[in-house]
C-alpha cells in the first residue's frame, strides 16, 4: 500500500501545481491551458525544471530565477496541501468502488481549495469552477443518494438562496449573496440533499457572521464592503462531506 500512497502523493503534487495555475488564471479570465507559465513580475518564461512542485521553490529559495522577486509561498503550500489530501483520502483497500469514491472526493477537495483561495483574494466564485464542481458532484451524487434528494437539495440550495437574496434586495436594496454563492449552494445541494443543504446554509451564515463581526471589530474589514461568503460555505461543506460524524443528522451519510 505504501508505494501506492507515494504515487498518490506525487499525483497530488502535480495536481496542486496545476491548481496553482487555475487559481492564478481563472479569476483573471486567462486560459489555463496556454501559454506556458511566466513570472508575474518580470514575465520571464519558467523553464520546466524551475516548475517542479515544491522542489523548485526550495532550490530557487522562493525567488524568481530571473528577477529575484519573491515567489508567493502559496504555490508550494497549495502543492503540499493537495499532496496531503491525496494521501489522507487514499482508501485502505482498493476496490473499483473505493477508487471511484476516492477520485470524486479528491476532485471535490481540489476545487474547494481553488474556490476558497480565489474567493478570499478576488471576492469571486468563477462560473467555470462551479461548473467543474457540478460535473464531479452529479455522477457522485447518483452513486450516493436518491434522485429525489438531489432534486430537492438543488431546489433549496439554488432556488431558496436565490429567493432570499431577491427579497433581501427588494426590501433593503442590498445584495446579500453573490451569484457565485447561490450557484455553489445549488451544486452542493445536489450532493448534500435537502437537510444537508439547509444545515450548510444555516451554519455558513452563522460562521460567516461570527467571523465577519470579529473582523469588523478588529478593524480588519470595512463593514460597508461586501464579505466573501464562499469560504464559509466551503468550510461548512468540507466538514459535512469529509467529517460527516459531526453532521449525523444527514441521512445519506448513515447508509454505510
Where does this chain bind Zn ion (CB under 5 A)? 39, 41-42, 44, 64, 66-67
**Smallest distance from the beta carbon of 50 to Zn ion, in angstroms?**
10
Task: Quote the CA–CA distance of 213 and 252 in Å, as a whole number.
Answer: 34
Q: How far is the CB of 80 from Zn ion (least distance, A)?
A: 22
**Cβ closer to Zn ion: 28 or 245?**
28
Q: 197-202 long-range contacts, Cβ below 8 Å, gap at least 24? A: 197/153, 197/156, 197/157, 198/156, 199/236, 199/240, 199/247, 199/249, 199/250, 200/157, 200/233, 200/236, 200/237, 200/240, 201/156, 201/157, 201/160, 201/161
Q: Using the minimum distance from each CB to Zn ion, give the nearer residue, 1 or 58.
A: 58
By beta-carbon proximity to Zn ion, the closer residue of 17 and 165 is 17
CB of 74 to Zn ion, least distance (A): 16
End-to-end Cα, the chain, rounded Å: 23
Give me the least distance between CB of 52 and Zn ion, in Å please: 17
Which C-beta is closer to Zn ion: that of 36 or that of 225?
A: 36
The nearest distance, CB 69 to Zn ion, in angstroms, is: 5
Q: How far is the CB of 40 from Zn ion (least distance, A)?
A: 8
Rank residues 46 and 221 by Cβ distance to Zn ion and give the closer one: 46
CA atoms within 13 A on the CB side of 244: 13
Q: Shortest approach of Zn ion to residue 24 CB, angstroms? A: 14
Cβ closest to Zn ion, residue 42 vs residue 210? 42
User: CA-CA distance, 31 to 10, in Å (whole number)?
Assistant: 25
> In the 3-class helix/strand/coil scheme, how is 188-235 assigned residue by residue?
HHHHHHHHHHHHHHHHHHHHHHHHHHHHHHCCCCCCCCCCCCHHHHHH
Degrees, nearest 5: CA angle 167-112-146:
70
Report H helices in 123-178: 127-144, 147-154, 161-172
CB atoms near residue 46 (< 10 Å): 17
Nearer to Zn ion, 64 or 78 (CB): 64
DSSP 71: P
Amino acid at each position: 500500500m505504501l508505494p501506492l500512497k507515494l504515487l498518490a502523493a506525487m499525483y497530488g503534487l502535480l495536481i496542486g501545481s496545476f491548481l496553482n495555475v487555475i487559481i492564478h488564471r481563472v479569476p483573471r479570465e486567462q486560459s489555463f491551458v496556454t501559454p506556458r507559465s511566466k513570472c508575474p513580475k518580470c514575465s520571464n518564461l519558467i523553464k520546466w525544471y524551475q516548475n517542479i512542485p515544491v522542489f523548485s521553490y526550495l532550490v530557487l529559495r522562493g525567488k524568481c530565477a530571473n528577477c529575484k522577486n519573491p515567489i508567493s509561498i502559496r504555490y508550494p503550500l497549495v502543492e503540499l496541501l493537495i499532496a496531503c489530501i491525496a494521501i489522507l483520502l487514499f482508501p485502505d483497500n482498493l476496490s473499483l468502488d473505493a477508487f471511484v469514491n476516492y477520485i470524486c472526493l479528491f476532485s471535490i477537495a481540489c476545487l474547494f481549495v481553488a474556490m476558497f483561495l480565489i474567493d478570499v483574494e478576488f471576492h469571486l466564485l468563477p462560473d467555470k469552477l462551479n461548473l467543474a464542481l457540478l460535473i464531479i458532484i452529479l455522477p457522485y451524487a447518483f452513486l450516493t443518494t436518491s434522485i429525489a434528494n438531489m432534486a430537492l437539495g438543488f431546489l433549496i440550495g439554488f432556488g431558496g438562496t436565490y429567493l432570499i437574496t431577491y427579497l433581501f434586495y427588494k426590501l433593503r436594496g442590498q445584495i446579500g449573496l453573490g451569484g457565485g454563492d447561490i450557484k455553489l449552494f445549488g451544486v452542493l445541494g445536489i450532493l448534500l440533499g435537502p437537510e444537508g443543504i439547509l444545515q450548510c446554509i444555516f451554519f455558513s451564515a452563522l460562521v460567516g457572521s461570527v467571523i465577519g463581526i470579529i473582523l469588523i471589530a478588529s478593524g480588519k474589514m470595512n463593514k460597508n464592503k461586501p464579505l466573501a461568503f464562499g469560504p464559509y460555505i466551503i468550510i461548512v461543506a468540507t466538514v459535512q462531506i469529509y467529517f460527516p460524524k459531526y453532521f449525523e443528522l444527514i441521512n445519506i451519510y448513515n447508509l454505510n
